[in-house]
Amino acid sequence: MSFSENLKSLMNEQGMTQKQLSGLTGIGASSISQYLSGATSIPKAPALKKIADALDTSVAYLLGETKEPDITKEGLPCKKMTIEEAAKRLGKSEQFIRVSLQRGTAPFGFATQMNSGKWCYHISPKKFAEYQGV
């Protein structure tokens, strides 16, 4: 699959909007839109890395070099952070983390309500580490 197809697929799986990806990466929403449409084929390396980090995937997957979104080209797993892990690291309850993500007050991720009414949570390991000052 192409970069734009892999990007669309990952964003759909995670329930992530262009605006949310833009907020996590610092890349303009218009650039994200161009990447998704294929108008701009592949972003430059720094932007590509930011997108991969925000989507908890590897650059290799985005570029179609691997078939698994959570495995790097070198065969190493991409780290994904769970609600439980975030709560433990911050010394907060899981409910606190969920509500913070739902309300958009957590600078390290977001939550999206699905059509079924259930919530899909995304925590960026990189943003979480920055939030902790690590």
- Determine, yes or no, domain membership for 67: no
Q: Across residues 53-79, what is the average pLDDT?
A: 73
Phi, psi of 115 (to 5 degrees): -60, -30
- Determine, yes or no, domain membership for 109: yes
In which residue are the tokens 């909007």 written? 17
pLDDT digits (tens, 9 = 90+) for 80-124: 688 999 999 999 999 999 999 999 899 988 887 766 777 878 887
* Spatial contact of 124 and 101, defined as CB atoms under 8 Å apart: no
In CATH, what number is assigned to the domain containing residue 19? 1.10.260.40
**SS3 of residue 121 by DSSP:** strand
57 and 7 co-located in one domain: yes
Domain count, the chain: 2
Phi, psi of 89 (to 5 degrees): -65, -35
**SS3 of residue 111 by DSSP:** strand
87 and 55 co-located in one domain: no
11 and 46 co-located in one domain: yes
In sequence order, the 6+-apart residues with CB closer than 8 A to the CB of 57 are 10, 69, 70, 78
55 and 7 co-located in one domain: yes
- Determine, yes or no, domain membership for 71: no
**SS3 of residue 119 by DSSP:** strand
- Determine, yes or no, domain membership for 123: yes
- Determine, yes or no, domain membership for 103: yes
Domain enclosing residue 49, as ranges: 3-62
pLDDT digits (tens, 9 = 90+) for 19-57: 889 888 889 999 999 999 988 778 998 999 899 888 878
In which residue are the tokens 């994904």 written? 80
